Amino acid sequence: MGELTVREDNVPAAPPAVPAQELTALAQWAHDAQQAHTIAQSLSKTQFVPKSFNGNPDNITAAILTGQELGLPPMASLRSMDIIYGVPALRAHAMRGLVQSHGHEIELVESSDTRCVMRGRRKGAADWQRVTWTIDRAAKLLGGLKDQWVKQPTTMLIARATGEICRLVAADVLYAAPYAAEELDGTGRPGPTYSAAPVTAGEILGEEDDPGNGADFFACEHKTTDAPGHDPNVCPRISEAQWQALRDGSVDPDAEAAAQLAEETGGWPPVRKPGSGA
């Protein structure tokens, strides 16, 4: 065995090679994302994109890439897609058109203000699948009707039926965006069963109460509920910890009011987290 052979035997084994095809696909996607973002930065400054995308190149990039997975060109993606609570969603007409472009059949059988029936079948299939949406079904699901459900119930029923029948017939076409925007937007989500009227910090502190009931917080003999001799029926006040939190700005008066309402009603009302849209 020669010296060269010994040295080769002592060389550490090389790590398994990454399949060239997989690396190429990932590299291609990364390149496409960079190019899409470059385009998005220019488009975000124009009036050719929907208002929800205006000035937001990151969302435009995401919409273009999602549309690419669905087989839609960039501008068609922006005109056909909304981002609802962080979820990309096709508008109902675009969803229907995309499914039909793949050769599947979607038909509107019946439509009124109270009822919508649609049917569909995959390309080459003999049997039809049918879905029915009624205004009663929508009201039960959403906890009541409001906004667009009141203004244009026929359109909203068609949108709901479209989303359901398209997923039944062609889930493989819609995997990147399986829900219609009309199914996810604020007009189709149930609202709280009760709500609290907006309150101010002054109201929480009692500054706007009846003067005979200790209206001036700083004039109250027992400024907080922690003070000895405090009578909540005479001068209702907050605790020292609550007062300090309000002074520091770490307490949201609206959230505090909602919590109080929850305690009074025996349930916890939905609280919107700022910036979350949820």
CA 157 – CA 134 distance, rounded (Å):
7
CA 3 – CA 149 distance, rounded (Å):
84
User: Does 165 map to a domain?
Assistant: yes
Residues 172, 238 share a domain: no
Mean pLDDT of 256-270: 52
Does residue 164 register a pLDDT over 60? yes
Does residue 139 register a pLDDT over 60? yes
pTM for the structure as a whole: 0.55
Higher model confidence: residue 201 or residue 130?
130
Share of the chain above pLDDT 70, in %: 58
Q: What is the pLDDT of residue 40?
A: 93
User: Does 226 map to a domain?
Assistant: yes
Q: Which of 139, 165, 188 is the last residue of a domain?
A: 188
The pair of three-digit structure tokens given for residue 267, joined into one six-digit string: 């349930």
Residue with tokens 């995309």: 98
Residue among 144, 149, 172 nearest 160 (CA): 149
Q: What is the pLDDT of residue 242?
A: 58
Q: Which of 39, 67, 84 is the last residue of a domain?
A: 84
Using the 8-state DSSP alphabet, how is residue 188 labeled?
G
Mean pLDDT of 224-251: 57
User: Does 124 map to a domain?
Assistant: yes
pLDDT digits (tens, 9 = 90+) for 189-217: 433 333 345 555 555 555 544 444 433 44
How does DSSP assign 149-187, residue by residue?
Answer: HHH-HHHHHHHHHHHHHHHHHHTTTSTTS-SBHHHHSGG
Residues 210, 141 share a domain: no
pLDDT digits (tens, 9 = 90+) for 25-84: 888 888 889 999 999 999 999 988 888 888 899 999 989 999 999 999 999 999 898 878
Higher model confidence: residue 95 or residue 12?
95
Residues 149, 100 share a domain: yes
Higher model confidence: residue 107 or residue 142?
107
Number of domains the chain is built from: 3
User: Does 17 map to a domain?
Assistant: no
State which residues form the domain around 43. Answer: 28-84
Does residue 276 register a pLDDT over 80? no
What SS3 string covers 91-138?
CHHHHHHHHHHCCCEEEEEEECCCEEEEEEECCCCCCCEEEEEEHHHH
Q: Do residues 224 and 239 touch, judged by C-beta distance below 8 A?
A: yes
